[in-house]
A and B are shown apart, each in its own frame.
Chain A
Amino acid sequence: MSDPMRIRAQAAGNKTTVRVLMSHEMESGQRKDSSGKLVPAHFISEVKAEHNGKVVMTAEWGPAVSKNPFMQFVVKGAAKGDKIKVSWKDNKGDSRTDEATVS
């Protein structure tokens, strides 16, 4: 099972900046292992963010996103105590959802 994400959601005025760290290999599919064989691509392909249960952002990623990905986005109108939920799905069908409270 995948390790949990780290989500920090901080409100300033009527904007909430969300920073997310995800634990994932993000294998590019370009790299060879020690025996010279190509390591198959394995990467987060879809990302979704929800604010109090409402989808506010979706994203699609390729294998060029760095290992242990970091992303940041800004939610309008979220306030302290609100919930920010982030989910990802990778190209092998693994997925993970974590939630944070806006501070």
Chain B
Amino acid sequence: MQTRRETLKQSAVVAGLLAGTGLMPQQAAAYETAAFAAKTAADVAKAMGAAAPMESKDVTIGGPDIAENGAVVPLTASSSLPNVKRVLVLVEKNPAALAAFFNVTADVEANFAVRVKMGQSSDVYAVAITNDNKAFYAKKEVKVTLGGCGG
């Protein structure tokens, strides 16, 4: 089980990712140009200080444990929370952490699949943002292997 300290640390990482993407609920805007601009985890950490997203069992991230090729990594992000307005998919170690997000309406489930590029093994996150501007996340590690003949 995770210690409280680790939980806090993880929350801080996600808060950093979110702050860097400009996607913290209070910053949400019509078009999220800044959201896709964060270059590194360090960059996004600079913007820490916003309300920390919480790890939640009501958010699920799905994907392979090992990806044979980082060019295509199939991920699913979903949440069983009742009031989700947005679902995000993040790759911590990518040049820009945010890969994609989906705006949820009453007519679709908060359940999406998308395929992303990963430059290296990394944690991947699903983040659900609720109508009352809280953020919840789940994460898992995806290992990217070197495939083929290496040439």
Q: Are A65 and B100 in contact (CB under 8 A)?
A: yes
Q: Are B108 and A56 in contact (CB under 8 A)?
A: yes
Given known A-B contacts A51-B107, A74-B108, A66 and B115 have beta carbons under 8 A apart? yes
B107 and chain A: residue at smallest CB distance: A56
Q: Does B71 contact A (CB under 8 A)?
A: yes
In the complex, what residues of A have CB within 8 A of residue B31's CB? 60
Q: How far is the CA of A76 from the CA of B107 in the complex (A)?
A: 5
Q: How far is the CA of A57 from the CA of B108 in the complex (A)?
A: 7
For window 49-103 of A, CB contacts with B under 8 Å fall at 49, 51, 54-67, 69-77
Interface range, B side? 20 to 34
Given known A-B contacts A30-B95, A60-B31, A60-B35, A65 and B115 have beta carbons under 8 A apart? yes
Q: Does B113 contact A (CB under 8 A)?
A: yes
Among A54, A64, A75, contact of B99 (Cβ-Cβ < 8 Å): A64
* Cβ of A74 to closest chain B Cβ, rounded Å: 4
A16 and chain B: residue at smallest CB distance: B108
Q: Are B113 and A71 in contact (CB under 8 A)?
A: yes
Q: How far is the CA of A51 from the CA of B106 in the complex (A)?
A: 12
Q: Does A15 contact B (CB under 8 A)?
A: yes
Q: Are A58 and B103 in contact (CB under 8 A)?
A: yes
Q: How far is the CA of A62 from the CA of B20 in the complex (A)?
A: 14
Q: Does B111 contact A (CB under 8 A)?
A: yes
For window 59-80 of B, CB contacts with A under 8 Å fall at 71-74, 76
Q: Does A28 contact B (CB under 8 A)?
A: yes
Residues of A within 8 A of B (CB): 15, 28, 30, 49, 51, 54-67, 69-77
Residues of B within 8 A of A (CB): 31-32, 35-36, 71-74, 76, 91, 94-96, 98-109, 111-117
